[in-house]
Amino acid sequence: MNKNKTNAIFYLDLNTGFYYAGIQPMLTLAFPPDTISDQEVLSREKLTNLVAAFVETNKIEPSNLVIVFAPTLSYQKDYEGSIPLTEKDNQDIRDFFEIVPFENVASKTYKLGKKTIALAVNKDILDSLKEAFEKWKFTVIAAVPYAVISEIIPELAQNVDFDLMFSRFDPMRQYNMIDSAQPQSPGRALAPGETEKPKNNTRTFALLGVFGLLFAVLLFMVLSNYVFPKKQNPGINNPSRIPLPTASLSNLSPGNEATGDAKVIPIQTATSSQSAQ
């Protein structure tokens, strides 16, 4: 996060994006049908150009950006109760993520008080928007689902209040869906001047040993058959080779329009975001 940049929210709905930076009027970006349609990115290049025109036309300065996915763009499954999820529940969540109808899925499981929410969005949309804004020096610090934000901020359950979301800008970041770097496993702190010793990779050595053994057997067979062939006993005739009989088996079977200072819009719902049961 760049402290020299302002903060901003880009709220993404089915066919429209809403950009709000707190002090300026909320701006809207409509997605033509040949860019994003039915929750799919049809042309990443056109989307990149659309974002570029949006930024240039409205003279938007690069910001620290949080992308918020509307409920109409997310698939979720809820688990109520304070009891930890069982292995069966975890398998059910994995199965749920498998049936989300996107080629690439960004998914995350959230524990919110007594409720657990398994939630997934289209990763292609997320990656495309992130890439498009970052080409203009924006810093996309998080992508969060509105379904999770409205759980922790009940006032957002009925209407999308941009001022209220903006006031919770930093807390929203902890619900980020963007892949983070793989954390290194914790270990003993190194003393000054001490270098980390290489790990003993037992599995690698075992595989190398097996490979060496197989190579030695193969070399022995080649030498036995071609370099040192066995002498046949001339008093014994080799029997004729008779082919074994075989049986055949049968086969088995939106344009760049400003919306004034409107900062609250109604929440839309869609069947795609309803909880899968």
**pLDDT over 60 (residue 209):** yes
Asked whether residue 33 carries a pLDDT value surpassing 90, the answer given is yes
In angstroms, how far is CA 271 from the centroid of its own chain? 22
Q: What is the pLDDT of residue 234?
A: 44
Flag whether 18 is in a domain: yes
Cα–chain-centroid distance for residue 51? Answer: 22
Of residues 222 and 48, which shows the higher confidence score?
A: 48
What tens digit of pLDDT does each residue of 220-265 get? 776 776 655 555 444 434 443 334 343 333 443 444 444 445 566 6
On whether the pTM is more than 0.75, the answer is no
Is 193 within a domain?
no
Number of domains composing the chain = 1
Residue 262 lies in a domain: yes
The enclosing domain of 31 has a CATH number of: 3.30.420
Q: Is residue 207 part of a domain?
A: no
pLDDT, mean of residues 50-72? 96
Non-local (6+) Cβ contacts of 267 within 8 A are 70, 71, 146, 150, 157, 158, 159, 160
CA 137, chain centre distance (Å)? 22
Q: Write out the residue range of the structural domain in which residue 157 sits.
A: 7-75+119-180+255-273
DSSP E strands in 94-217: the ranges are 105-112, 115-122, 139-145, 159-161
Angle between helices 123-134 and 44-57 (to 10 degrees): 40
Answer yes or no: is 263 within a domain. Answer: yes
Q: Residue 44: is its pLDDT beyond 70?
A: yes
